[in-house]
Amino acid sequence: MLSQMWQELWVLVFVVLIVIGIFTGEGLLIGFSVMGLLVVGLARLWNRVSLENVTYERKFSQRRVFIGEKTTLSITLTNRKPLPLGRVRVEDEVPASMELAGANVVGSPNPDGKTLLHSTSMSWYERIHWTYEFQCSRRGFFRIGPSNLRSGDLFGFFSSEKIARDRDYVLVYPRIVSLPEIGMPSARPLGETRGGIRIFEDISRPMGLRDYQMGDPLKTVDWKATARMQELQVRTFEPSSSIAVILAVAVDTMEHTWEGYSAIHLERIITAAASLAVYASERQYSLGLFSNGTPVLADRPMKIAPSQSPDQLTIILEALASIRPLPMGSIAGQLGNQWRSFPLGATIVVVLSLVADELPQILDNMRAHGYKLVVVYVGDKPCPPMPEAVLLHEIGDAFEGLEFAGQRHAQRFAAMNSEGDVR
């Protein structure tokens, strides 16, 4: 607003000088004012078109990476018109955790972000490239953008800006560790038996039709076939021949939502769940996910049906990478409402750091209906007693050892860097 005021003031000043020159008969003043007015007009016109056909593009070598991996961000600024630009300044919003080597980065009003700056001049039809390498230090779904472009006329009188609303993203998968590293046995950590449970039918594997028999559930009746054959027909399915594993991931790490969340315990939960997902996928189990957390781009609890699809592990790791830290209700309440929709005979692996008072009873009800229960507890305090036949793994101590080793490594790395700076 203030800049617009100064622009109008320049025009007004030269118009006033021309009027004064006419009344006083000062030809030099008139000539000077007309030239000034022409320069101002040219500058305003130049400023108006300065950002037209100017594009700012980002390109990542990889958009999906694991913690610790490096990827490359390539930025291209292009002036697609026959008009040079004396100055172009680009401000791009990037995540605070993204460390770009050699970049000009300043603070941002967004507490979770920072601003990547580029300032340059451009000739006509010029294209400028910047390339940065960065290492992904923590899991998550990270947005980059929007970007703000500023330019103006060659004389520096006026300036204009344009906001590019397009945004990019990088998805960082959770950390994957071997089961022994987190204190779980590598052999049969779920207590599973080879070959699965064959007494349960798999609704994803239809086998055919047969006549209705007393006791058949009505939900298996094929009404179209019944109408065609004028006799009740029910759908039949092949028995389940693989182990169905559903990871129930509890993101509630505090007793009360208003207390916030424990970042340490949340990462333990996600790391344990991701590592178990890889274990189950490698053994070609039918893998699913259930959580009271929500992904970044949705507002409802996660529920991914069990599947042996080759893409299932990727889908689950992406969901775990983008999970929000605060739950939508307790895991006990969510399980109490949803467990009846799980495949019969499935192994339910509950990964949590906080055990609600009502959870053991819910797990016992699930066990009584044929589900196999495994609890993976990552909390610091001893886990409360679990119902009989529920397999319990308490792995908080193992995670504490991993975290301590990671801190020592980070301190050693920082000390080596500081010694290098001194030298």
Query: What does the pLDDT look like over 231-248, one tens digit per residue?
Result: 888 887 655 556 889 999
Pairing state of beta strands 244-249 and 347-352? parallel
pLDDT, residue 417, reads 45
Q: Percentage of the chain surpassing pLDDT 70? A: 83
Which residues, at least 6 apart from 415, have a Cβ–Cβ distance to it below 8 Å?
Answer: none
pLDDT, residue 237, reads 67
Query: Is residue 93 within 8 Å of 145, Cβ to Cβ?
Result: yes
Query: What does the pLDDT look like over 307-333, one tens digit per residue?
Result: 888 899 999 999 999 888 888 888 998
Query: What does the pLDDT look like over 9-62, one tens digit per residue?
Result: 666 676 676 677 777 776 776 676 667 667 777 878 888 888 899 999 999 888
pLDDT, residue 108, reads 82
pLDDT, residue 257, reads 75
Supply φ then ψ for residue 254, to 5 degrees.
-130, 150
Whether the per-residue pLDDT at 216 is higher than 90: the answer is no
Query: What does the pLDDT look like over 388-415, one tens digit per residue?
Result: 889 999 999 888 887 766 554 444 434 4
pLDDT, residue 423, reads 41
Q: Rounded mean pLDDT of 127-151?
A: 88
**Which of the following CATH numbers is that of domain 54-173: 3.40.50.11900, 2.60.120.1030, 3.40.50.300, 2.60.40.10?**
2.60.40.10
pLDDT, residue 395, reads 92
Q: Could you give the angle at the alpha carbon of 171 between the alpha carbons of 168 and 177, nearest 5°?
A: 165
Q: How confident is the model at residue 191 (pLDDT cuts 50, 70, 90)?
A: confident
Q: 207 or 294: which carries more pLDDT confidence?
A: 294
Pairing state of beta strands 127-135 and 99-100? antiparallel
Task: Give how far Cα 202 sits from Cα of 198, 290, 343, Å.
Answer: 9, 19, 8
Half-sphere exposure of 109 (CA within 13 A, CB side): 1
Averaged pLDDT of the chain:
82
Pairing state of beta strands 286-291 and 244-249? parallel
Query: Is residue 326 within 8 Å of 251, Cβ to Cβ?
Result: yes
Q: Round to whole Å and give the CA distance between 311 and 21.
A: 79
pLDDT, residue 239, reads 53
Q: Rounded mean pLDDT of 181-195?
A: 77
Query: What does the pLDDT look like over 368-384, one tens digit per residue?
Result: 988 999 999 999 999 99
For residue 68, how many other CB atoms are within 10 A of its CB?
10
Q: Rounded mean pLDDT of 344-349?
A: 89
Q: Round to whole Å and give the CA distance between 385 and 12.
A: 83
Helices 312-321 and 263-282: crossing angle, nearest 10°? 180
Is domain 179-197+240-406 annotated with CATH 3.40.50? yes
pLDDT, residue 418, reads 47
**Domain regions of the chain by residue span:** 54-173, 179-197+240-406, 206-239
Q: How confident is the model at residue 5 (pLDDT cuts 50, 70, 90)?
A: low
Residue 159 carries which side chain, given as an amino acid letter? S
pLDDT, residue 372, reads 92
Q: 260 or 247: which carries more pLDDT confidence?
A: 247
Which residues, at least 6 apart from 118, have a Cβ–Cβ distance to it below 8 Å?
Answer: 75, 77, 88, 89, 90, 92, 104, 130
Whether the per-residue pLDDT at 136 is higher than 50: the answer is yes
